[in-house]
A and B are shown apart, each in its own frame.
Chain A
């Protein structure tokens, strides 16, 4: 399975290329900063550094891009935790427990948890890539629209979990989000719900809508507060507490491993990626926990699950790129551009003929996780000062950053208008106890769910027996049913002895 000779050559390659070791910390810093600024995602940062890779060798070029990606995978968690701003869809689940932890004065611990979960999950996904590159690439070839639909459905089951006590309101909010996500021209050429507005043809822009639903509505809700963290004694910034958070995350290796497996497998599927993996990882962990009601109120396990889910999808996405030459999303598409610029074609031939380079990329990514921890620690120490900024300064600043960031994403006024409309929608949903998070999940998964369902329907001709011909789909369906049913069964079994015990006491 592991080619020892190629591994030795890879280590020699890395050891002799000083540029590779120079670009990695630089890329991590660029990624951390870019990910932390709403509106500037990993893809944007990678596009900005892409021209510089032309003057480098292939290995340092790829390592620069992957380190920007690694840095941004954690960087987007920083505003999600501190200000409830998911800078990218990959950080949506991070806000569910990350921001409540900040509001409780545990921002240091939350950032420490996010950092180490991100780093560990990233490393684990690269272990999978290292050991299982060829089998994983064969798995990708088995996956199609049916499997993508099932993965999207798995993500949608989170809506029920986010509904809390009022299931009906949760379902209404989730369905509203699903419908909003399908606005515009469908994959089959039908125009729906655009109200004659040309800018809606491509649908509702996702990140501006997220900014509006989460950020702006949260800020409007916080108008009466003086600070994010009300208790002045809790507004400390402390390395000791950051390390406490790191120790807290390490105490749950099972959750990090579970998130890493989910993230890697979902990341392998082209077109799905970290925006879905963080939701599925969160959902699976929540369902399997003894106290699922505590999720969403500042439970560290929720934050660990979300961050490990989104960061590990990088390894999965790189599998598809290296083994098949297929980009899974925006970031890997930019990496593919770097391949082209250096006259390299990804795929089975690349893996067979240049295995030492493949191993060098993987080993280099292990080194990136170490750089992420080393550089991430001072970064989060610095940015966590935001909890000391009064809300009267933070509210207009963040709102205008949202508008600017939204404009940067769409290139026209559509972005800021979407932020405004969804801010009002999010505020109203919160006022009347509809879970905003359920709408967000529906919005993020609406288009993917519909397009994969349509393709599945077209391929199957409407025959359900088509599912039986797809072992990967059956496996996924079984996994979904197990992930929903098993925690329920376990809870029922635990309740029965308790009820018997209580009945015996009363007798």
Chain B
């Protein structure tokens, strides 16, 4: 009988659940360290502890699931979880996520106008847009319209000229 090994996705889920448990535990400890008085911990303590217990329970049940799977599944029915396939969709998701992160970080450096133009342009290309007209005209016009809309709000949006002037 072959052992069923947990795949990449299983480990990722375990790690994420463990992170939730750890995060809840840290928050409870941080709150308790601030003050153990009822008016500080009255909600956070019971909710946090329950959250940690449930998350650890999820981890435990997942681990037991792996062990049971390895003990009972016959070789013929065994599912091998190999390495995740890097298809175009996964690459595009990672690219857009990374670009969005870069966009948020760069706003304070180059201003919303330049950052928005660059983000929309590069994302369009990463997601498959190849028309040259679309790649130039749309990011420019979108940036202009978006900045005009945000002029309605109370706060000044930092733009390239203003950032350069700092």
Binary per-residue interface labels of chain B (123-166) against chain A in the complex, 1 for a CB within 8 Å, 0 otherwise: 11001110000000010001000110110111101000000000
Q: Does B43 contact A (CB under 8 A)?
A: yes
A392-B30 CB under 8 A given contacts A175-B50, A428-B16, A453-B43: no
Q: Which of A171, A182, A396 touches B123 (beta carbons < 8 Å)? A: A396
Binary per-residue interface labels of chain A (148-180) against chain B in the complex, 1 for a CB within 8 Å, 0 otherwise: 000000000000000000001101100110110
Complex CA distance for A392 and B128, rounded to whole angstroms: 7
B22 to chain A, nearest CB (A): 12
Q: Which of A47, A178, A192, A403 touches B103 (beta carbons < 8 Å)? A: A403
Complex CA distance for A413 and B149, rounded to whole angstroms: 18
A172 touches B58 (CB 8 A): yes
A188-B100 CB under 8 A given contacts A396-B120, A400-B120: no
B30 touches A193 (CB 8 A): yes
Binary per-residue interface labels of chain B (65-99) against chain A in the complex, 1 for a CB within 8 Å, 0 otherwise: 00000000000000000000000110011001101
Q: Does A449 contact B (CB under 8 A)?
A: yes
Complex CA distance for A404 and B112, rounded to whole angstroms: 8
B51 touches A392 (CB 8 A): no
Complex CA distance for A457 and B45, rounded to whole angstroms: 15
Binary per-residue interface labels of chain A (385-428) against chain B in the complex, 1 for a CB within 8 Å, 0 otherwise: 00000011101110111011101110101001101100110011
Q: Which of B22-71 contact A (CB under 8 A)?
A: 23-24, 27, 30-31, 34-35, 38-40, 42-44, 47-48, 50-51, 54-55, 57-58
Q: Does A65 contact B (CB under 8 A)?
A: no
B107 touches A413 (CB 8 A): yes
Closest to B50 in A: A175
Number of interface residues of A (CB under 8 A): 62
A399 touches B100 (CB 8 A): yes
B104 touches A403 (CB 8 A): yes
Complex CA distance for A37 and B39, rounded to whole angstroms: 39
Q: Does B2 contact A (CB under 8 A)?
A: no
Q: Which of A40, A172, A396, A411 touches B20 (beta carbons < 8 Å)? A: A172
Contacts of B89 in A (CB 8 A): 223-224
Complex CA distance for A396 and B40, rounded to whole angstroms: 41
Q: Which of B31, B100, B153 touches A193 (beta carbons < 8 Å)? A: B31
A408-B24 CB under 8 A given contacts A190-B35, A395-B127, A424-B97: no
Q: Which of A40, A191, A413, A454 touches B39 (beta carbons < 8 Å)? A: A454
Contacts of A223 in B (CB 8 A): 89, 92-93, 96, 127
A192-B31 CB under 8 A given contacts A392-B128, A395-B127: yes
Complex CA distance for A171 and B51, rounded to whole angstroms: 8
12 A-B pairs with CB atoms under 8 Å apart are: A37-B149, A169-B58, A175-B47, A176-B23, A176-B51, A186-B40, A190-B34, A403-B104, A403-B107, A407-B107, A407-B155, A407-B157
| Residues of chain A having any CB pair with chain B under 8 Å | 34, 37, 39-40, 44, 47-48, 168-169, 171-172, 175-176, 178-179, 182-183, 186, 188, 190-193, 216, 219-220, 223-224, 391-393, 395-397, 399-401, 403-405, 407-409, 411, 413, 416-417, 419-420, 423-424, 427-428, 431-432, 449-450, 453-454, 457-458, 462
